[in-house]
Amino acid sequence: MKKDSVLVVEDDFIVAKVIEKNLIDFGYTVAGLVATGNEAIAKAGSEKPDLVLMDIHLQGDMDGIAASEKIRNAFNIPVVFLTALSDKQTFDQALVTTPYGYIIKPFSPDTLSATIRVALNKKQTDQRIMDRHAWLDSTIRSLPEGIVIYRPDLTILYVNPATSKALGYSAEMLIGTPVLSYIAEEYREEVAARMAAGHTDNDIPLYETSLLTKDGLHRTVIVKGTPILYHNNPAFLTLLIDITERKKWEMKLESHAQELMQLSASLAMVNRKLNLLSSITRHDISNQLTVLQGYRALLEKKQTDPSFTGYFQKINDSAQRISSMIQFTKTYENIGVNAPAWQDTRTIIETAVKEGPPGQVMVKNDLPAGAEVYADPLIVKVFYNLIDNAVRYGEKITTIRFSVQESGDDHVIVCEDNGIGIPAGEKEKIFERGFGQNTGLGLFLAREILDITGITIKETGEPGKGARFEIMIPEGAWRTGKKGAQ
């Protein structure tokens, strides 16, 4: 796997070499060592590093802040400032360039490592958000249905190409005009009342109305609206489905309505996940880093005192917690990002075993050849966690077995072992976030990943005789020999 590369911009050669050694020890590739802003810009353009470590005070007539701004604007490469300047004015000037970190010299290797990891993780997160926004914009522009976004005062803010084509006006001509001026006069009062009621209730139910085109023609449409934030300001999004040729469209109306409901459900699920993710904030990670740095600094000064042995354990605990939190946010953000797909069940188990070797524990894969499940691509992590938990906590465990059973029209993938099992009072708690002996995130994530396509999981084993997880695959999400439907 390609290593992340880091460009070091530092006018003190000794400091630059120390940083270079630290980066190599951390497992990164050093894209170069430069001492001036102009050199930094040129090197960033030629090497395209994943991250730039930038001193603010540099040789030449360009400081690090100016160089950082040019690099971000030209190449969109994130920058972490390394500086001995801690005054508010310098910090405020640096903040304008939206850095991914700000480290005050002198700093420890742990501080440098943690800051780089957080910065690179944030870069990946920002890129996913940008990709998502680009995809959403492309999707809206390519929709055959009309999309209109308007202010609470009914002034149009945005229309997609389908709306412009239907009305006969360019987007520039429509934006800034009253949305009611494009409703046939005999329907305006009714539509105005529906909009007002919808704004009060935060919902605009489906209704039919007639649009007035530039040519004076009427087009009958089904309207659906919902409140949104547009550029961080309250607005309303309206979907327009043209049913002018009713007979031609009757067969498709049901499909469009179903697609709309699926879209609404998907948006609600994504919103729920984003809300949960936002609760696990960077502040939590910063707190853990502060603890880690504090204990490390203390132990470095007094490491000859045996009474400080306990601090080493606290450092290890904090480091493990930080790693778990970062991995959790990264994994959770990926849930639902990629579309579900048909995946071979035997291959899923084999991949999970490779990712987390079970040691002396035997894994029996009795799932039938050619059987596929329709699920989120992250489903392999579900089975990885089941295997990992069994090995970690099964104590006397020697065997883990995967098999499948039929339950009416559904199929059940069974994961069972001969370990000590799950206590009766914890069978549901093990799926709650934060519950458990390790991070408390594995089975919580497993249930969230499966829920994307309506798959459920529960623990039904007998305490003392082994754990038994039943993964219920609904009808339509299981097929054999590549036959079946989503």
Quick: pLDDT tens for 67-122.
999 998 899 999 999 888 778 888 888 888 889 999 998 889 999 999 999 999 99
The torsion angles phi and psi of 157, rounded to 5 degrees, stand at -105, -30
- In this model, does residue 444 exceed pLDDT 80? yes
Mean pLDDT of 420-430: 90
pLDDT higher at 368 or 284: 368
Whether 476 maps to a domain, the answer reads yes
Of 307-316, 347-356, 370-379, where does mean pLDDT reach its minimum? 307-316
| Residue 416: other Cβ atoms inside 10 A | 22
Nearby residues of 85 by Cβ (< 8 Å), 6 or more positions away: 56, 57, 91
Which residue range forms the structural domain that includes residue 19?
Answer: 5-136
Instruction: Report percent pLDDT > 70 for the chain.
Output: 81
* Structural domain contains residue 400: yes
Question: How many C-beta atoms lie closer than 10 Å to residue 483's C-beta?
Answer: 8
pLDDT value of position 356: 72
Tell me, what's the pLDDT at 302? 66
For residues 322 and 347, membership in a common domain is answered with no
Assigned domain for 187 exists: yes
Whether residue 56 contacts residue 67, with contact meaning beta carbons closer than 8 Å, is answered with no
Please give the residue that has the higher pLDDT: either 56 or 282: 56
Band (277; pLDDT cuts 50, 70, 90): low
- Pick the last residue of a domain from 136, 167, 201: 136
Query: Does residue 200 share a domain with residue 88?
Result: no
Write out pLDDT tens, residues 109-128.
999 999 999 999 998 888 88
The label of the residue with tokens 């009060």 reads: 200
CA pair distance 388, 467, nearest whole angstrom:
13
Tokens of 380: 């392999």
Q: Given a cut of 90, is residue 347 above it in pLDDT?
A: yes
Q: 470 and 359 in one domain?
A: yes
Q: Does residue 61 sit within a domain?
A: yes
For position 372, what pLDDT does the model report?
A: 95
**Same domain, yes or no: 92 and 37:** yes
- Is 250 contained in some domain? no
End-to-end CA distance of the chain: 34
Determine how many CB atoms are found less than 10 A away from the CB of residue 474: 14
**Is the pLDDT confidence value at 484 over 50?**
no
DSSP state of 428: T
Is residue 254 in a domain?
Answer: no
283-311 exposure pattern, b = at least 16 Cβ within 10 A, e = fewer: eebeebbebbbebbeebeeeeeeeeeeeb
Please state whether beta strands 79-83 and 51-55 pair in parallel, antiparallel, or not at all (unpaired): parallel
Same domain, 122 and 152: no
Instruction: Say which DSSP state 59 is in.
Output: B
Q: What is the pLDDT of residue 252?
A: 58
Which position has the token pair 């802003």? 37
Residue 204 lies in a domain: yes
Cis preceding linkage at 49, omega within 30: no
Q: What are the pLDDT digits (tens) for 201-245?
A: 777 788 888 899 999 888 888 888 888 888 889 999 888 988 887
Domain count, the chain: 4
- Tally of helices (H runs) and strands (E runs) in the chain: 14, 18
pLDDT on residue 485: 38
221 and 111 in a common domain:
no
CATH code of the domain covering residue 148:
3.30.450.20
Q: What is the mean pLDDT of the chain?
A: 84
Contact 180, 223 (CB under 8 A): no
162 and 48 in a common domain: no
Is the model more confident about 458 or about 2? Answer: 458
pTM of the model: 0.39
Pairs from 192-195 (Cβ < 8 Å, separation ≥ 24): 195/154, 195/225, 195/236
pLDDT of residue 158: 93
Q: Check: CB of residue 331 under 8 Å from CB of residue 378.
A: yes
Task: Tell whether 104 and 147 lie within a shared domain.
Answer: no
Same domain, 123 and 176: no
Is residue 468 situated within a structural domain?
yes
Query: Which pLDDT value is given to residue 418?
Result: 93
Give me 187's structure tokens: 């329907």
3-state secondary structure of 462: coil
Q: What is the mean pLDDT of residues 189-212?
A: 83
